[in-house]
Structure 1
Amino acid sequence: MRNVFAGFGKSTAFAVLGRALVPADRVLLRVSGGRFGVGAAVGLRTLLLTTVGRRSGEPRQVPLLYVERRGGYVVIGSNWGGRAHPAWSANLLAQPKATVAVGGRAVEVTGRLLTGAERQEMWDAVAAYWPAYDRYAERAEHREIRVFLLEPVSR
């Protein structure tokens, strides 16, 4: 089902629909502790990232598709292919400590912006899972989409 849905995911209509569904996805992920989001119906893995607003200092939550790699979670700051980076990515750069709700548990993480070959490796892994990211990169034009590894904090 995910592969069928991925074709629609490349369209600008999907970006409009996706933006509209973010609030519902955020609520579902919050209530379920990261067990269930909007994308689960079509087989997409989604986590709820909580960052600290760089201006407000308040918690900010965003649902993100992810792929597990190197013991952490790889997330992409595509902003649906928009010209600007998403606010959550700027928040994570300003304050790398964050929390993810995934699979029914809260995990403290540190976000690390990936560059070079490591960025490309992780981009390829996520784009293989959700091919629409390649289309988002085309639409983003003059910005390199940010790729983060959210690494669990040892206790």
Structure 2
Amino acid sequence: MLSVTASSSGSARIPPRWFIRTAWVVHRGLYRITGGRFGLRRPTATVYGMMRLHTVGRRTGKERVAIVAYFEDGQDVVTMAMNGWGEPPPAWWLNLQATPAATIDLPGSSRRVRAREAKGTERERLWDVFRGLEEGADLDALARLRTRETPVVVLEPRA
């Protein structure tokens, strides 16, 4: 997730779309160039982690990879399908809706997971965790930039 600002009126500002997309390309490139030594990190109590998410393209059937923010909730890994706070859902989330089985790379390990969207009180609880990880950002103001609710995605371990 990129740095964003919230104004005193409670509205949020994000960088231009071209900047966000360039940052994603640079992040993936640095991961590749460094052989994975740069680009992933474990979450802490105050900062989200970064992981690589491998999905199957819903149209092509080919592997697709994205680097996304996460935190761990017991054995589950949790992320948000927010596409840099842009309006459309991220392609990786559309891919997971078509084929929920995926693989994630965390610092030092990989896991096979199955994706589902958190609903109701579970979603609110997990959203509150993200609120605590986005220091200086008003998560609710950012979410209001989109016309639809931002999905909270739970990645559960699979055999």
Q: TM-score, normalised by structure 1?
A: 0.80
Alpha-carbon spacing, 1:20–1:120, altered in 2? closer, same or farther (3 Å): same
1:2-151 matched pairs, under 5 angstroms: 8=5, 11-13=13-15, 16-29=18-31, 31-32=35-36, 36-37=38-39, 44-130=48-134, 131=137, 133-140=139-146, 142-151=147-156
| 1:139 alignment partner AA | L
Please list every run of 5 or more consecutive structure 1 residues that lacks an aligned counterpart in the other structure. Answer: none
| 1:68 alignment partner AA | E
Larger Rg: 2
Deviations 1:64-98 (Å, cap 9, x if unpaired)? 01011121111001112222111111111110100
Q: How many residues align?
A: 145
Root-mean-square deviation over aligned CA pairs: 2.6
Contact 1:28 1:38 in 2 (8 A): no
More helix by share: 1
Task: State how far apart, in whole Å, the 2-side matches of 1:29 and 1:7 are.
Answer: 23
Contact 1:29 1:101 in 2 (8 A): no
Task: State how far apart, in whole Å, the 2-side matches of 1:54 and 1:80 are.
Answer: 21
Task: State how far apart, in whole Å, the 2-side matches of 1:107 and 1:63 are.
Answer: 15
Task: State how far apart, in whole Å, the 2-side matches of 1:36 and 1:104 are.
Answer: 12
Task: State how far apart, in whole Å, the 1-side matches of 2:97 and 2:143 are.
Answer: 20
Moved runs in structure 1, 4+ residues, more than 6 A? none
Alpha-carbon spacing, 1:28–1:153, altered in 2? closer, same or farther (3 Å): farther
Percent of residue pairs bearing the same amino acid type: 31
| 2:140 alignment partner AA | D
| 1:24 alignment partner AA | V
| 1:20 alignment partner AA | T
